C-alpha cells in the first residue's frame, strides 16, 4: 500500500480514535474529580474537619469541593489560550498528568489527627490544582471528538466525550462503593485512600491512548494559514460575549442537577434519611451505567432534530421531576430510590448532556474555539455545580431537613437553562461550525 493510501486510511480512522481517546481520557480525569465529591460527602468531614459538628463539617467539606470549581475557569483560560495557539492534543496530555498526580497525592495525605490544620490546607491546594486541570480538560476533549467528527455527526461523536464524564462518575462511585464495604474503622483508616491511589494506573492507560491521536483538522487548518489568535480569550470576550453567556445559561440546569443528584443526594440519604451509603452509591452507579447508553442516543438525535429541542426537553423534564425525585428517595425503598436516580440521569440529564459538546463548539470559530467553550462551560461550573451541594445543604439546614427548598432551587436552575436556550439560535444544520478563516479562504 502506498504512503498516500496509508495517510488516507489513517485519517479515516481518526474520528473513531479521537472519540475513543476523548471517552477514555475524560473518564480518567473526571474519575479523579468526582472522587473528591464522593469523599467530601462521606469521608472528609470526619478526617479533615473533625472539630466541627457533623453539619458544619459537611458544609466545610463541600466548601473545599466548591474551591475546585473556582479554579476551573483559570484552567480553562490557561489551557484554552495555549490550545488555540499550540494545539488541542498537547494540552490534553498535560491536564491528564495534573489530575492524576493531584488525585494520587490526596490519597497519600495525612489526616487532621496527624498534622493538624496542615491536612485541610494541603487538601485545599490539591483541590485547586485539580480544578485547574479539569478546567482545561473539558474544552480539549470536546474539540478532539467534535473537530474530528464527520460532517452531520458532530452531535453523536461529541457525545462520546460526554459519556466519559458519566464514565468517570460511574467508575469513581463503583470503586468507592466497593471500598466502603470494609468495616467502618478500616474504611476511615485506609480504605478510602484506595480509589485515589488507583488513579496513577489509570493515567498511564490514558496517556498511551491520547498520544496516539492526531491533532484536529480544524486547528491544523488555522495553523497552516498562520491565523492563530494572539490573545484568544480577549477575542472571545470582544467578539463572542453573547455566545459565552448563552453557553453558561444553557448549561446551568445540567450542571446543578448533576451535582444535586450525584453529590448532595449522598449526604441527604446517609445523614437525613439514615439509609446505608451503599444504597445511594449503588443507585448512582446504576443510573450512570444507563446514562452511558442514553447520552449517545440523545447526541445522535440532536444531529437530526437539533440541539435546542433536546436541551429544552431535558430542562423541562428535570424541573417537573424535582419534587417526585425527593418523594421517591424519601420512601427509603431501595427499588424506588434506584428508579428515581435512573430516571433523572438517563432522561433529564442525558437529554441536555448528549448534544452539549456539539452545541457549544458550534457557537465559536476554530481559532478561538478552545478558549470560547472552556470559558462558557467553566464559568457556569462556578455558579452552578460548584455551589449546588453547598447551597442545597444550606437550604436543607434552613428548612430543618425538608428537601422542598432544594427542589425549588433545582426548578429555578432549569428555568435559567430554558430561557437561555430559547434565546439561542439553533446551530445544527447551519455552517457556523466553519471558522471565519475558512470562509475567507473560500471567498478569496
Report the mean per-residue pLDDT for the chain. Answer: 84
**Cα angle value 213/216/217 (rounded, 5°):** 130
Burial class (CB in 10 A: 0-12, 13-18, 19+), 204: exposed
Position with higher pLDDT, 59 vs 172: 172
Task: State phi, psi for 2 to the nearest 5 degrees.
Answer: -70, 165
Instruction: Give the range among 14-18, 89-93, 232-236, 420-424 with minimum mean pLDDT.
Output: 14-18
Distance CA 257, CA 96 (A): 26
CA end-to-end distance (rounded Å), the chain: 36
Instruction: Give the range among 30-34, 105-109, 325-329, 358-362 with minimum mean pLDDT.
Output: 30-34
Which three cell numbers, joined as nine digits, stand for 424?
Answer: 439561542
Predicted confidence (pLDDT) at residue 443 exceeds the cutoff of 50: no
pLDDT tens across 23-34, in order? 887 888 778 777
325 to 169, 261, 413: CA distances (angstroms) = 20, 9, 16
pLDDT tens across 179-196, in order? 888 888 888 888 889 989
C-beta separation of 378 from 76 below 8 A: yes
pLDDT interval class at 127 (50, 70, 90) = confident
Average pLDDT over residues 152-159: 89
Distance CA 294, CA 351 (A): 8
pLDDT interval class at 432 (50, 70, 90) = very low
pLDDT tens across 261-279, in order? 988 888 898 888 888 888 9
Predicted confidence (pLDDT) at residue 248 exceeds the cutoff of 90: yes
- CB under 8 Å to 251, separation ≥6 — which residues? 352, 356, 360, 376, 377, 380, 384, 417
The full set of domain ranges for the chain reads 10-439
Average pLDDT over residues 304-325: 94
Distance CA 434, CA 438 (A): 6
DSSP-assigned states of every residue in 219-273: HHHHHHTT---SSHHHHHHHH-HHHHHHHHHHHHHHHHHHHIIIIIHHHIIIIIS
pLDDT tens across 204-222, in order? 888 887 887 888 888 888 8
According to CATH, what is the number of the domain 10-439?
Answer: 1.20.1250.20
- Rg of the chain, C-alpha, whole Å: 21
Q: Can you tell me which residue has the cell 471567498?
A: 443
DSSP-assigned states of every residue in 47-100: HH-TTS-HHHHHHHHHHHHHHHHHHHHHHHHHHHHHHHHT-HHHHHHHHHHHHH
C-beta separation of 199 from 27 below 8 A: no
Distance CA 87, CA 95 (A): 13
pLDDT tens across 83-97, in order? 898 888 888 888 888
pLDDT tens across 65-74, in order? 667 778 888 9
Question: What pTM, to 2 d.p., does this model score?
Answer: 0.81
Burial class (CB in 10 A: 0-12, 13-18, 19+), 140: buried
406 to 254, 390, 402, 411: CA distances (angstroms) = 15, 11, 8, 9
Distance CA 233, CA 136 (A): 13
Q: Can you tell me which residue has the cell 446551530?
A: 427
Amino acid at each position: 500500500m502506498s504512503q498516500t493510501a496509508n495517510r488516507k486510511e489513517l485519517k479515516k480512522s481518526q474520528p473513531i480514535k479521537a472519540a475513543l481517546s476523548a471517552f477514555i481520557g475524560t473518564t480518567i480525569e473526571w474519575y479523579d474529580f468526582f472522587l473528591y465529591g464522593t469523599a467530601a460527602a462521606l469521608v472528609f468531614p470526619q478526617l479533615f474537619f473533625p472539630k466541627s459538628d457533623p453539619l458544619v463539617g459537611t458544609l466545610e467539606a463541600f466548601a473545599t469541593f466548591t474551591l475546585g470549581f473556582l479554579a476551573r475557569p483559570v484552567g480553562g483560560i490557561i489551557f484554552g489560550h495555549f490550545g488555540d495557539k499550540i494545539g488541542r492534543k498537547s494540552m490534553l496530555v498535560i491536564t491528564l498528568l495534573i489530575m492524576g498526580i493531584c488525585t494520587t497525592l490526596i490519597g497519600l495525605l495525612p489526616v487532621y489527627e496527624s498534622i493538624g490544620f496542615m491536612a485541610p490546607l494541603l487538601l485545599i491546594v490539591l483541590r485547586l490544582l485539580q480544578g485547574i486541570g479539569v478546567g482545561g480538560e473539558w474544552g480539549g476533549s470536546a474539540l478532539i471528538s467534535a473537530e474530528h467528527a464527520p460532517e452531520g455527526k458532530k452531535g453523536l461523536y461529541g457525545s462520546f466525550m460526554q459519556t466519559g464524564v458519566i464514565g468517570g462518575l460511574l467508575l469513581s462511585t463503583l470503586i468507592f462503593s466497593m471500598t466502603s464495604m470494609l468495616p467502618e474503622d478500616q474504611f476511615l483508616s485506609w480504605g478510602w485512600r484506595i480509589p485515589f491511589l488507583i488513579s496513577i494506573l489509570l493515567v498511564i492507560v490514558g496517556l498511551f491512548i491520547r498520544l496516539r491521536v492526531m491533532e484536529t483538522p480544524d486547528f491544523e487548518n488555522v495553523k497552516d494559514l498562520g491565523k492563530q489568535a494572539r490573545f484568544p480569550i480577549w477575542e472571545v470576550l470582544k467578539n463572542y460575549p453573547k455566545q459565552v453567556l448563552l453557553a453558561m445559561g444553557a448549561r446551568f440546569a445540567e450542571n446543578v442537577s448533576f451535582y444535586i443528584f450525584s453529590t448532595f443526594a449522598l449526604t441527604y440519604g446517609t445523614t437525613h434519611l439514615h439509609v446505608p451509603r451503599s444504597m445511594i452509591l449503588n443507585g448512582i452507579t446504576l443510573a450512570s451505567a444507563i446514562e452511558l447508553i442514553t447520552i449517545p442516543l440523545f447526541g445522535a438525535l440532536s444531529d437530526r432534530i437539533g440541539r435546542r429541542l433536546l436541551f429544552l426537553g431535558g430542562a423541562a423534564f428535570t424541573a417537573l421531576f424535582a419534587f417526585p425525585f425527593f418523594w421517591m428517595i424519601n420512601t427509603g425503598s431501595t427499588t424506588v430510590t434506584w428508579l428515581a436516580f435512573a430516571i433523572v440521569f438517563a432522561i433529564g440529564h442525558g437529554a441536555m448532556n448528549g448534544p452539549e459538546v456539539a452545541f457549544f463548539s458550534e457557537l465559536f470559530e476554530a481559532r478561538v474555539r478552545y478558549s470560547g467553550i472552556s470559558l462558557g462551560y467553566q464559568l457556569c461550573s462556578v455558579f452552578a455545580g460548584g455551589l449546588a451541594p453547598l447551597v442545597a445543604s444550606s437550604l436543607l439546614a434552613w428548612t430543618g431537613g425538608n428537601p422542598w427548598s432544594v427542589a425549588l432551587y433545582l426548578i429555578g436552575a432549569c428555568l435559567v437553562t430554558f430561557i437561555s436556550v430559547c434565546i439561542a439560535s439553533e446551530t445544527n444544520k447551519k455552517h457556523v461550525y466553519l471558522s471565519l478563516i475558512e470562509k475567507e479562504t473560500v471567498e478569496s
